[in-house]
Amino acid sequence: AGTLRVVNGTATGGCEGARQRHWPENEWRDNTNLDKARGLLGQVKHEFGSQISWSDLITFAGTTAIKASGGPAKKFCFGRIDDVDGKRSISLGVEGVKECRGNKFCKSDFECPVAFRWPQQDPSDHARCNLTQPDRLQASHSVGLIYVYPEGPELKSSARGYDAKQVHNRSPQLSALEVRDTFKERMGWTDRETVALIGGGHTLGRTHGNCNLTGTKWASHPYNEVGPYFEAQAGSLRGPTDGTCGQGASAGLAENTLSSGFEGPWGRTPSQWNYDFFDAMLAEEWEAV
């Protein structure tokens, strides 16, 4: 679902086809470790065979997770058809080519030929892919990423907010602009829908990504006690947000926020986050079965 895009008026990507099983999507770095998730689902697929497609199984697993977490998962539409290969994802970008076989597109699109950096960004930091790329429906900020660089842009030494004492100088402000660029301009979400969906998706998901990274983590308190919020790990000197989000019950709340403040009422009234998350998710056309 994270590959769904509207680029130049053309809708592409999405769950249909279950192409994350095939090249090139299975060599995108943002899909690291999804082979483990598919391995778990493979036991179900083996038992039921052709009675359920991989496309339906993967999306149904997400719906089951919502239901198991107490969410309003009351309907699901079956009928997705699997693709036999990943050729329909080639237009979304090719990163690795190890599993490419006899294809004229066996060349990496990394890095994007048309890219940009923010004026405040370190010139040695990753350039960001423009939305429009020649002969490709590029919608993420890098080939191989689903959305944005999660660490955010690195500030150059002359930029406001740069702190030479920090190991990294990642900019939360520029990160917010990148998230808005991706989710609003490239996917069509409002700011409120974006925050609700990111918070919800990473609460119930998080089955991919590199396992050895440290930094910001979910708060250790059970969700049904205090609601969703982030808690920073102090002392790593990883960036300007490190150690500034408060600790314990005050982490990520009130003066300990670096955001638009949408999550403030969600932390105090978790039911409101439930409504916003599912209102955004169910705003699309769903059919009862």
Q: Hey, which of 93-102, 133-142, 194-203 has the most confident mean pLDDT?
A: 93-102
b/e map 217-247, b = 16+ CB within 10 Å: eebeeebeebbbbbbbeeeeebbbbbeebbe
Q: Mean per-residue pLDDT for 185-211? A: 69
Backbone angles phi, psi at 89, to 5 degrees: -100, -5
Measured between alpha carbons, how far is 133 from 100 in angstroms, rounded to an integer? Answer: 22
The mean of the pLDDT values for the chain is 75
Tokens for 43, please give them: 């036991």
Measured between alpha carbons, how far is 164 from 178 in angstroms, rounded to an integer? Answer: 24
In a domain, residue 225? The reply is: yes
**Contact assessment for residue 102 and residue 87, using Cβ atoms and an 8 Å cutoff:** no
In a domain, residue 231? The reply is: yes
Q: Return the closest-CA partner of residue 215 out of 170, 185, 276, 175.
A: 170
Whether residue 4 is predicted with pLDDT greater than 80 in this model: the reply is no
Q: Return the closest-CA partner of residue 289 out of 74, 4, 41, 67.
A: 74
The residues with which 230 forms a beta bridge, in sequence order, are: 218
pLDDT of 94 reads: 94
The residues with which 133 forms a beta bridge, in sequence order, are: 136
Q: Mean per-residue pLDDT for 95-99? A: 93
**Contact assessment for residue 269 and residue 247, using Cβ atoms and an 8 Å cutoff:** no
In a domain, residue 191? The reply is: no
In a domain, residue 181? The reply is: no
| Per-residue pLDDT tens over the stretch 232-275 | 444 444 444 444 445 555 554 444 444 444 444 445 555 555 55
Q: Mean per-residue pLDDT for 12-38? A: 88
Q: What angle do CA 25, 56, 97 make, to 5 degrees?
A: 10
Reported confidence tier of residue 198, pLDDT bands at 50, 70, 90? confident
pLDDT of 129 reads: 93
Measured between alpha carbons, how far is 73 from 71 in angstroms, rounded to an integer? Answer: 6
- The count of domains in the chain is 1
| Per-residue pLDDT tens over the stretch 57-77 | 999 998 888 888 777 777 889
Chain position carrying tokens 């439930």:
274
pLDDT of 258 reads: 42
In a domain, residue 260? The reply is: yes
In a domain, residue 13? The reply is: no
More confident residue, 210 or 162: 162
Q: Mean per-residue pLDDT for 86-91? A: 91
Number of H helices, E strands in the chain: 7, 6
Reported confidence tier of residue 190, pLDDT bands at 50, 70, 90? confident
In a domain, residue 279? The reply is: yes
More confident residue, 210 or 115: 115
Q: Which range marks the domain in which residue 228 is found?
A: 206-289
Whether residue 99 is predicted with pLDDT greater than 70 in this model: the reply is yes
Cβ neighbors of 228 (< 8 A, separation 6 or more) are: 199, 200, 203, 218, 263, 266, 267, 270, 273
In a domain, residue 178? The reply is: no
